[in-house]
Amino acid sequence: MDTREKVIQELDKRYNRLVGTSATNLCTHCGWCIESCHIFKATGNPEHSPVAKAEKVRRVLKRKHDWLSRLFPKWTGAKDLTESDLDEWIEAAFKNCTLCERCVINCPMGVETPQILATARGVLTAMGKSPEILNQLTDAAIAREENMEMMEGFFRKQIANLEKQVQERMNDSNARIPVSEEADILYVPLSGAHTMVPAALIFNAAKANWTMSLFEASNYGVFVADIPKAKKVVERVLKEAKKVKAKTLVVTECGHAYGVLKWEAPKWFGKQFDFEVKSLLEVMNDYIQEGKIVLDPSKNSEPVTYHDPCNIGRKGGIFEEPRNVIQASSKEYKEMTPSKVENFCCGGGSGMVACSEWTEDRLLYGTVKVEQIKKTNAKKVVTACDNCLHQIKELGEKNNLNISVSNVSEHLANALVFS
Ligand code: SF4
Ligand code: SF4
């Protein structure tokens, strides 16, 4: 089978009603989506508009699946696939689209441009053409479970050191970071201490019945649209949730991990889980509303703004909880414009932060975010996703924004009053 045939076969495997409708029927080429894309706005390059990026894949799909395009391809702009198309797909689907979905909500026809480009990601991965680092990070997550006997002792030692920090900050030698023990809440962090220590302070302050997962929440399999591998990464946590008898799985501040565990994985496995999935943002807000934690907002005295991560906000609908948490733990809150469902992507999403070969492009794609931050006059940006955190820190340094950047739990933990 030659490359062209193999690509067509891989495209066919992924062709479903959503991709089919968006690919062949809906786009009227009206151009309304163009200005909605932070990447087009940053570069002004027509090739970076949502419609142009999707068209690179759509014209191939149309040639096969649209009757008019089968008969009169020149009329409809359809074309047969060539090998050079794949290089264009890498640019369009991996480098020049963060799958943020802002174009979808700004399209009068609801065209699912990111679905089309995610389909291209899956095909490129099957052809061995996706960014190698994203595949390596997926494989590393799977290997962690396979080598757990070796990893576990080391991980527990690291957590014991972090537990000492928590005890010192709380001035309480009974404060704990339980690891993979039976508990109501299984908290799934990322690999950095900034996703562990603040969460541990909050769970201890609220006297929650919780435990920390042995695994990290991130799932790079979803960035390369390799669903079999992404499922394996999720399975580790599902097994652990069953083992610890968790009633609630709390996902740390990570946009794609929340999306994977909240709505993607139940579709992949064809069932709802036996436990509830919540973002740490929702849990922190619950603790405040229920009076389980005490806060001193004067501990966060600088003006602060919030960046809505695309997966948590636009896709996940979590807008008010982080705002409630930040406002309850700060003296002065500044809203970004636009925000919530219309917020612009920071430019670091969907694996871009990990792809060092595209660092310069990524920082350019953050131009709109830089302008938004400047307009707030905030001295601190708080966000709820590690990719956004990393990107906004780098944007701040590169553009001399003179801001600090943190996740929401760090911000809240800084305002905690321990009794
Ligand atoms: S994707 Fe939607 S907004 Fe963009 S050109 Fe097509 S129909 Fe118009
Ligand atoms: S999903 Fe986001 S990055 Fe991709 S084309 Fe649409 S607006 Fe641009």
For residue 407, list its beta bridge partners.
383
The amino acid sitting at 230 is A
Nearest ligand, measured from the Cα of 32: 1
Whichever domain contains 302, its CATH number is 3.40.50.10700
In this structure, are 253 and 367 located in the same domain?
no
Write out the residue range of the structural domain in which residue 10 sits: 3-129
In this structure, are 272 and 140 located in the same domain?
yes
Give nearest CA residue, ligand 2 atom 5: 50
Cα(183) to centroid of ligand 2, in Å? 40
Question: For residue 350, which of 215, 214, 229, 259 has the smallest C-alpha distance?
Answer: 259
What is the mean predicted confidence (pLDDT) over 393-407? 98
Which of 53, 107, 112, 115 gets mutated to test ligand 1 (max ligand atoms within 8 A of its CB)? 107
Residue with tokens 């591998």: 229
Q: What is the DSSP string of 11-33?
A: HHHH--HHHHIIIIII-----TT
Q: How confident is the model at residue 45 (pLDDT cuts 50, 70, 90)?
A: very high
pLDDT number for residue 404: 98
Report the b/e string of 73-83 with b at 16+ CB within 10 A. beebebeebee
- Of the two residues 386 and 84, the one the predictor is more confident about is 386
In this structure, are 109 and 221 located in the same domain?
no
Is residue 398 within 8 Å of residue 358, measured between CB atoms? no
Whichever domain contains 140, its CATH number is 3.40.50
Q: Containing H/E element for 328? A: helix 320-328
| pLDDT above 80: residue 31 | yes
Is residue 308 within 8 Å of residue 314, measured between CB atoms? yes
In this structure, are 144 and 120 located in the same domain?
no
Share of the chain above pLDDT 70, in %: 100
Q: How confident is the model at residue 3 (pLDDT cuts 50, 70, 90)?
A: confident
| Number of folded domains that form the chain | 3
In this structure, are 155 and 229 located in the same domain?
yes
- pLDDT tens per residue across span 103-160: 999 999 999 999 999 999 999 999 999 999 999 999 998 998 788 888 899 999 999 9
Is residue 330 within 8 Å of residue 107, measured between CB atoms? no
Strands 404-407 and 210-212: unpaired
The verdict on the CB of residue 53 being under 6 Å from ligand 2 is yes
What is Dmax (Cα atoms) for the chain?
Answer: 76
The amino acid sitting at 355 is C
Nearest ligand, measured from the Cα of 310: 2
Give nearest CA residue, ligand 2 atom 8: 37
pLDDT number for residue 161: 98
Cα(107) to centroid of ligand 2, in Å? 11
| pLDDT above 90: residue 51 | yes
Mean residue pLDDT of the chain comes to: 96
What is the mean predicted confidence (pLDDT) over 302-327? 98
Last residue of a domain, one of 288, 322, 338: 288
Count of Cβ atoms closer than 10 Å to residue 409 Cβ: 27
The verdict on the CB of residue 31 being under 6 Å from ligand 1 is yes
Cα(348) to centroid of ligand 2, in Å? 12
The verdict on the CB of residue 21 being under 6 Å from ligand 1 is no
Which of 18, 19, 21, 28 gets mutated to test ligand 1 (max ligand atoms within 8 A of its CB)? 28
Last residue of a domain, one of 109, 129, 149: 129
In this structure, are 145 and 276 located in the same domain?
yes
The amino acid sitting at 340 is K
Q: What is the DSSP string of 220-237?
A: GGGTTT-HHHHHHHHHHH
Report the b/e string of 29-62 with b at 16+ CB within 10 A. eeebbbebbbbbbbbeeeebbbbbbbbbbbbbbb
In this structure, are 141 and 275 located in the same domain?
yes
| Residues sharing a CB contact under 8 Å with residue 84, sequence separation 6 or more, in sequence order | none
pLDDT number for residue 62: 92
Is residue 275 within 8 Å of residue 350, measured between CB atoms? no
For residue 294, list its beta bridge partners.
417
The verdict on the CB of residue 143 being under 6 Å from ligand 1 is no
In this structure, are 267 and 344 located in the same domain?
no
- pLDDT tens per residue across span 72-84: 999 999 999 998 8
The verdict on the CB of residue 42 being under 6 Å from ligand 2 is no
Last residue of a domain, one of 98, 129, 160: 129
Q: Containing H/E element for 407? A: strand 404-407
The verdict on the CB of residue 30 being under 6 Å from ligand 1 is yes
Question: For residue 218, which of 178, 256, 275, 171 has the smallest C-alpha distance?
Answer: 256
| pLDDT above 90: residue 192 | yes
Q: Is the dihedral of CA 261, 264, 268, 272 positive or negative?
A: positive
Question: For residue 77, which of 102, 52, 105, 95 has the smallest C-alpha distance?
Answer: 52
| pLDDT above 90: residue 290 | yes
For residue 250, list its beta bridge partners.
187, 278
In this structure, are 317 and 374 located in the same domain?
yes
At 147 the three-state DSSP class reads: coil
Cα(268) to centroid of ligand 1, in Å? 29
Which of 19, 29, 104 gets mutated to test ligand 1 (max ligand atoms within 8 A of its CB)? 29
Is residue 302 within 8 Å of residue 413, measured between CB atoms? no
The burial of 337, by beta-carbon neighbours within 10 Å (0-12 exposed, 13-18 middle, 19 or more buried), is given as exposed
In this structure, are 267 and 360 located in the same domain?
no
pLDDT number for residue 151: 87
d(CA 265, CA 324): 28
Whichever domain contains 67, its CATH number is 1.10.1060
pLDDT number for residue 20: 87
The verdict on the CB of residue 111 being under 6 Å from ligand 2 is no
Nearest ligand, measured from the Cα of 43: 2
What is the mean predicted confidence (pLDDT) over 328-338? 98
- pLDDT tens per residue across span 341-362: 999 999 999 999 999 999 999 9
Strands 294-295 and 304-307: unpaired
| pLDDT above 80: residue 23 | no
In this structure, are 166 and 261 located in the same domain?
yes
pTM of this prediction? Answer: 0.96
Which of 51, 76, 112, 117 gets mutated to test ligand 1 (max ligand atoms within 8 A of its CB)? 51
Give nearest CA residue, ligand 1 atom 4: 33
- pLDDT tens per residue across span 256-286: 999 999 999 999 999 999 999 999 999 999 9
In this structure, are 61 and 89 located in the same domain?
yes
| pLDDT above 90: residue 363 | yes
